[in-house]
A and B are shown apart, each in its own frame.
Chain A
């Protein structure tokens, strides 16, 4: 009975992961959904089901504004990171023999904690930070530039730096997988370098671009610590409002609703993005 053995083997292999995901992802998510239909009454929770949280959250211009800004910042970060990552990945895949060394170098930012990297940017962009004091020392500016920190720009810059390796690796893998004979064939058939890139290389790496975009976009929409530290008032994102609900405001149901709204928004944008890229990719051929 080979089938039975295969099935049971498969079940046995999948069980630990299923259990793990079930306990640590599905159960908390279920709790989140349940909370979003309850109501906070001072220090207790009213368990009667209501849409009120959704109604007030969706009707709130602040929530819509922050959701929109979160998506906008994450989109900018994704665009910047992927654009900057592609040439690096291309270089490693096609132009160097020392691939392992380069890949190792790229992971170096990950050797320090995420929080430290955010703080490092604060030190660089700060009022008397590295950049301002350096430029002042050179006599290029007389007053410290205040537009460097506490705004959207600082958030985008910090996130793009922190997430760069996540973009490089998937794109590198998809470039590496390209059958070199296809490129030779394109050349033989009379394609120039640029045409060869846009008609062969780029379409074949679309899966890599999609996966690195999603890997960056999804977590950055919900990033909390970067906007909290370098965002100031103009760089706040939806996660900061969610934290307020779970912390100072002590309104877990509303916090759960906002979290779910953020997840739905991310889901819609991500699916739309994948469909769009697939469509564009198919048009190139």
Chain B
């Protein structure tokens, strides 16, 4: 909170000092997940433009896509790497000029090379935040030596499992569980069948398919479920809540990594200078330090980890950022046809078919 107040103060002061030469900060519109309007993420932008950008929010990437395709206009948006190919194909986004991104070389190579950042000879996204998706379990209810993705299908865990409502995340888990993580984005028919069979085996154990992370956090905290496939945010919430729970880690255990970032929308009306000022502010090591320390999320800028409090970096598991990505499945864009099959099949599985 202190950081927020200081920044807001700084913003107000800067607003008084900044002359009319610079465009007002709020002329830039960012289409984002709720919460990312946190001024700690773009301090240098506020200093330069006198105020924070305007924010409009979406609840899911699909909702954002639908809204943009129906003509909604903004300057920047914040999807994840699995969506960029689709957004580019729909003509919603324009390429990024990486020469204008001051911190481009500081971005962790593993993050910069994720599919969905650069493809078809152009860079489409400036990576910003990342984290894990994995199996979070109650350490007091499930023994550490027994936890595995296979445990989800164990009849002993009937009614104690929560899976995500979204198909891509569930299939990523199933691909990890059935040994086809490498081919997740282009599974063969046999691999797809194996993954679907796994999800069908888990279905009788599922208490609910979560679509709202808060629902999962509460269910894990109360003991309603003992394990769930979820984002790192859930793990952090449980740590902060003193619930004995953790995410299953370890190279061969099965874990996935999501990477999200900012894209330059085609309908953007703000000047390029202003857009790139914002992108530079977001990728600044200072912003990274803030998101690591206050949110417990990974940041794209490698320098941010050195700037951040080493104690917190360790608590949140970022001590060796490169090691973090060993053996992980990245949420890349799944082939459109396969993705459609995943969606239709997962609806069947969830309905017990």
Contact = CB atoms under 8 A, between A and B. Distances in A.
Interface string B61-99: 011011001000000000000000010011000000000
Which DSSP category, helix, strand, loop or mixed, fits chain A's interface? loop
B203 A128 contact: no
A90 interface: no
Interface string B198-231: 0000010011110100000001001110000000
B166 interface: yes
A244 B203 contact: no
Contacts of B211: 228
A182 interface: no
Contact of A249 (B89, B340, B348, B351): B340
Q: In this complex, which of B63, B203, B340, B344 has the most chain A Cβ atoms within 10 angstroms of its Cβ?
A: B344
Contacts of B167: 248
A233 B348 CA distance: 10
Given A228-B211, A248-B166, A43 B89 contact: yes
Nearest to A40: B340
Interface in A203-253: 228, 232-234, 236, 241, 244, 246-251
B337 to A, nearest CB: 9
B336 A42 contact: yes
A43 B88 CA distance: 10
Interface in B332-353: 336, 340, 343-344, 347-348, 350-353
A247 B224 contact: no
Given A228-B211, A246-B66, A248-B167, A236 B351 contact: yes
Interface string A129-157: 00000000000000010100010000000
Contacts of B62: 247-248, 250
A236 B348 CA distance: 11
A62 interface: yes
A232 B215 CA distance: 12
A233 B161 CA distance: 13
Contact of B352 (A44, A228, A233): A233
A62 B347 contact: yes
Given A128-B222, A233-B206, A62 B343 contact: no
Given A62-B351, A127-B219, A43 B159 contact: no
B207 A65 contact: no
B351 A146 contact: no
Given A66-B351, A228-B211, A233-B208, A248 B343 contact: yes
A61 interface: yes
B211 to A, nearest CB: 7
B111 to A, nearest CB: 25
Interface residues of A, number: 26
B251 to A, nearest CB: 30
B6 interface: no
A49 to B, nearest CB: 21
Given A62-B351, A248-B167, A249-B343, A42 B208 contact: no
B60 interface: yes
Nearest to A129: B222
Contacts of A146: 159, 207, 224
B65 A150 contact: no
Given A248-B167, A250-B66, A233 B86 contact: no
A150 B89 contact: no
A185 to B, nearest CB: 55
B207 A244 contact: no
Given A150-B207, A150-B208, A244-B343, A43 B350 contact: no
A114 to B, nearest CB: 17
A247 B347 contact: no
Contacts of B203: 233
A65 B351 CA distance: 9
B342 to A, nearest CB: 10
Given A61-B353, A146-B159, A250-B65, A233 B209 contact: yes
Contacts of B347: 62, 241, 244
A146 B353 CA distance: 22
5 contacts: A65-B351, A127-B224, A246-B66, A247-B66, A248-B62
Given A43-B89, A232-B208, A244-B343, 9 more contacts: A44-B90, A62-B347, A128-B224, A232-B209, A247-B62, A248-B166, A248-B343, A249-B344, A250-B66
Nearest 3 pairs of A and B residues by beta carbon: A127-B224, A43-B90, A247-B62
